[in-house]
Structure 1
Amino acid sequence: MRIGILGTGNMADALGTQWRRAGHDVVTGGRRDGGLRAAADHGTDAVLLALPYDAAVDVVAALADALRGRTLIDCTNPVGPGFTLRTAGGPSAAQRIAAAAPGAHVVKAFNLCHVDVWRLTPPVFDGRPLAVPLCGDHETALTAVRRLVRDLGCLPLDAGGLDRAGLVEATAALLIGLWVGQEADAQAIAPPLAYAGPR
């Protein structure tokens, strides 16, 4: 696959490195010297938005023409001071990004884990591969992202349409607050599937 990555930070490096290792053609571009547009133009199969949320909507709006028809993967987290959700009461970050580039096929993914998790080869814990929830409305885009998830050694988990991305973003705010704010083992809050509902 030809993948463009908007951003040159830790998430761009971690995911880009893993996808290159899996044999994909990856170009990463920053906000200087036209790097973002070059990365968007390169990403004919998928474009990863790996920028701080504060910059994401404006960058995507400026690149809307280049992103038309492309799979745009949103891994941003609109988490504010006190681990609050900065988009509470309004559209999710993913929906705002989709509105800024209406021709793109946005998929929310890769936002629930610290960058160090994405550097693991593969992210497997106690014999269980990491599951990655995906929210999106375009089946071709979801298929592409499922492949990229599997190429990390993870399991794609369909979490619904883009209208459910806010739930995934709120989950990130909750988990980050537990991990960072309390050093809690947030994985312990969910029982195994056999105990998760009526039997």
Structure 2
Amino acid sequence: MRIGVLGAGNMADALATQWARKGHEIRFGARTPGKATALAERVGRGAAGGTLREAAEFGDVILLAVWYEGVQDVLREAGPLVGRVLIDCTNPMEPPFETLKTDGGPSAARRVADASGARVVKAFNLCHESVWRMTPPVFGGRPLGVPLCGDDEEALAVVRGLVADLGCVPMAGGGLERAGLLEATTAFLVGLWVAGEDPSAMVTPPEYAGGDPRPTSG
């Protein structure tokens, strides 16, 4: 698969490197094309770098991996994205993690969808980039679950495959209207980590959660 990556930072590096190892073709784009080219050279495996528009035009699927503040400018420079599959891993948060930059309005993912017309899937925003560099991310004997929020089944199927390529398990997070909950969850978890707390301690085992949850690993 051809993956166009909008961004040349740590998240772009971590995720695209793993996908390149799985045989996907990668093209990075950045507002400073030289940064994208330098990252492509580090990743190797045929990866290329250039402008945001070049990366967007290249990809069968597009990863948006930039700081939230730059999203709208990046989307404009990327050019037409209507109907394209776009993965949004951005987080509209900042210390002290008490509110989101989107507070009182649509989620970051909804704003991306509205601005671009792309088939947006919210994913990969819960974890630090170091997690995506693990091969694979497995904790306590279980592969990491990655929640996905999106409205388009074809787009979701594409992203589920890319999640599996990381050695992770895709989790059904609901439609794009639930992406705001996922973004808020990230901010809440980061606030706990910054405070020195262990967020995993607040999640009860499935048998105590009620219902019959779908397993996220074999």
Name the TM-score class by shorter chain: over 0.9
* Separation in structure 1 between the aligned mates of residue 52 and residue 12 of structure 2, nearest angstrom: 12
Q: Which runs of 4+ in 1 moved over 4 A?
A: none
Structure 2 unmatched ranges of 5 or more: 34-49, 213-218
Structure 1 unmatched ranges of 5 or more: none
Contact 1:94–1:162 (Cα < 8 Å) also in 2 = yes
2:209 paired with 1:193: no
2:51 paired with 1:35: yes
Task: Give the TM-score of the pair, scaled to structure 1.
Answer: 0.94
- 1:11 aligned residue: 11
Contact 2:56–2:79 (Cα < 8 Å) also in 1 = no
Among 30, 33, 47, the alignment partner of 2:62 is 47
Q: In structure 2, the residue corresponding to 1:73 is in which secondary structure? A: strand
2:139 paired with 1:129: no
Among 78, 94, 119, the alignment partner of 1:80 is 94
Q: In structure 2, the residue corresponding to 1:106 is in which secondary structure? A: strand
Count of residues in Structure 1 that have an aligned counterpart in Structure 2: 195
Task: Give the TM-score of the pair, scaled to structure 2.
Answer: 0.86
Deviations 1:121-153 (A, max 9, x none): 000001011000000011110000000000000
Identity of aligned residues (%): 61
* Separation in structure 2 between the aligned mates of residue 170 and residue 91 of structure 1, nearest angstrom: 12
Deviations 1:31-60 (A, max 9, x none): 12461111101112x100000000012221
Shift of 1:178: 0.7
Root-mean-square deviation (CA, aligned residues, Å) is 1.3
- 2:123 aligned residue: 109
Among 173, 187, 196, the alignment partner of 1:183 is 196
Contact 2:6–2:30 (Cα < 8 Å) also in 1 = yes
